[in-house]
């Protein structure tokens, strides 16, 4: 039995509906899935319903935008109580900033002679947690860029003219909110930060797991993170980080996490759930 613990739908910046994602997971023979939309749990109820007919175990989750030592890091929360008022109020705060940020990015594009309209981005995003991929897709749809990657390279990447920072919560506070909502906290794609020294620090801050297997971990990276997880007492996890069709072929199925890791991660759930 295999799992994929890192998936996005159109409730954030993925392109698949929960139903499409569940159908593809079934076709790939996966037995357990976590939905980890950016700063949102809105897709979880529909994803749970979509998994049920396939007998796929569903884990409600989210990928939260956090900060440690002035770096953006992503913390995956699993088995979240999606009705937790503390969690929902944090998510609402993130989402409000994301919406303002879209307006800021559009304004910067306008100043550079690109007449994109914020409402076109919101209409395309059609969710509470809009992000740069929606801006990129709107730019391509309206012919302002040739393709998605060009939009990032020329305008949207950090340091480019239309880049605007997001709201980021301190990583310790993020882990605490996840635990208070009955969940477990996992550091997403450690290979993308190029700052492995932060991993022991996050372990000390209460992290439960490390996403050792990810579609952007190449060469010996996964094995090295697996060893690090063992040394630090973290559960080794993995996921594809599939965003649907946004980057050509979908990534679901590329990471097949042995189900034993799901069992080990589940054992880290806080027993006293405070919401």
Report the residue number, 31 or 215, with the smaller CB distance to ligand AMP: 215
The reply to whether 241 sits near Fe ion by the rule CB under 5 A is yes
Gyration radius (Cα) of the chain, Å:
18
Considering only 12-20, 92-100, 181-189, 202-210, which stretch makes contact with Zn ion by CB under 5 A? 12-20
Question: CB under 8 Å to 159, separation ≥6 — which residues?
Answer: none
Round to whole Å and give the CA distance between 92 and 204: 28
The reply to whether 37 sits near Zn ion by the rule CB under 5 A is no
Considering only 51-59, 125-133, 230-238, 266-274, which stretch makes contact with ligand AMP by CB under 6 A? 125-133
> At closest approach, how far in Å is the CB of 64 from ligand AMP?
11
Among 4, 5, 11, 13, the residue binding Zn ion under the rule CB under 5 A is 13
Residues 170-189 that bind Fe ion (CB under 5 A): 188
Token pair of 237 as six digits: 């996890």
Token pair of 67 as six digits: 């900060």
Round to whole Å and give the CA distance between 54 and 52: 5
Considering only 47-55, 131-139, 229-237, 267-275, which stretch makes contact with ligand AMP by CB under 6 A? 131-139
The reply to whether 74 sits near Fe ion by the rule CB under 5 A is yes
157 binds, among ligand AMP, Fe ion, Zn ion, none (CB under 5 to 8 A by kind): ligand AMP
- Binding to ligand AMP by CB under 6 A, coded x per residue (else -) over 229-268, reads --------------x-------------------------
Which SS3 state, helix, strand or coil, does residue 44 take? Answer: helix
| Contact call for residues 198 and 188 (beta carbons, < 8 A) | no
Which SS3 state, helix, strand or coil, does residue 209 take? Answer: strand
Round to whole Å and give the CA distance between 41 and 45: 8
Considering only 51-59, 75-83, 127-135, 211-219, which stretch makes contact with ligand AMP by CB under 6 A? 127-135
Report the residue number, 13 or 39, with the smaller CB distance to Zn ion: 13
> At closest approach, how far in Å is the CB of 171 from Fe ion?
14
Among 18, 131, 209, 244, the residue binding ligand AMP under the rule CB under 6 A is 131
Residues in binding contact with Fe ion, number by CB under 5 A: 4
Token pair of 233 as six digits: 């007492």
The reply to whether 154 sits near ligand AMP by the rule CB under 6 A is no
Token pair of 180 as six digits: 């208070």
E strands present in the chain: 2-4, 32-35, 57-68, 71-78, 169-170, 184-187, 209-214, 235-239, 257-258
Mark 112-132 as b/e (b = at least 16 C-beta within 10 Å): eebebebebbbebbebbbbbb
Report the residue number, 149 or 196, with the smaller CB distance to ligand AMP: 149
> At closest approach, how far in Å is the CB of 133 from ligand AMP?
5
122 alpha carbon, distance to own chain's centre: 19
Sites of contact with Zn ion (CB under 5 A): 13
Sites of contact with ligand AMP (CB under 6 A): 13, 38, 131-133, 149, 152, 157, 166, 243
């Amino acid at each position: 039995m295999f799992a994929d613990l890192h998936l996005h739908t159109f409730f954030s910046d993925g392109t698949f509906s929960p139903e499409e994602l569940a159908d593809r997971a079934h076709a790939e023979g996966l037995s357990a899935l976590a939905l980890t939309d950016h700063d949102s749990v809105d897709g979880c109820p529909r994803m749970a319903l979509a998994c049920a007919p396939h007998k796929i175990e569903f884990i409600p989750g989210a990928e939260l935008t956090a900060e440690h030592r002035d770096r953006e890091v992503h913390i995956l929360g699993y088995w979240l109580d999606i009705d937790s008022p503390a969690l929902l109020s944090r998510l609402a705060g993130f989402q409000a900033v994301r919406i303002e940020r879209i307006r800021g990015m559009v304004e910067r594009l306008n100043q550079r002679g690109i007449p994109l309209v914020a409402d076109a981005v919101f209409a395309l995003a059609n969710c509470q947690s809009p992000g740069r991929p929606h801006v990129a897709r709107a730019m391509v749809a309206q012919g302002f860029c040739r393709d998605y990657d060009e939009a990032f390279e020329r305008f949207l990447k950090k340091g480019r003219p239309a880049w605007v920072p997001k709201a980021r919560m301190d990583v310790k506070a993020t882990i605490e909110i996840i635990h208070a909502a009955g969940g477990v906290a996992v550091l997403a794609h450690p290979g993308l930060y190029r700052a492995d020294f932060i991993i022991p620090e996050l372990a000390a801050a209460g992290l439960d797991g490390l996403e050792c297997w990810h579609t952007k971990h190449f060469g010996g990276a996964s094995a090295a993170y697996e060893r690090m997880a063992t040394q630090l007492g973290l559960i080794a996890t993995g996921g594809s980080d599939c965003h649907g069709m946004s980057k050509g072929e979908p990534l679901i199925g590329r990471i097949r996490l042995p189900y034993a890791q799901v069992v080990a991660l589940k054992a880290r759930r806080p027993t006293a759930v405070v919401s």
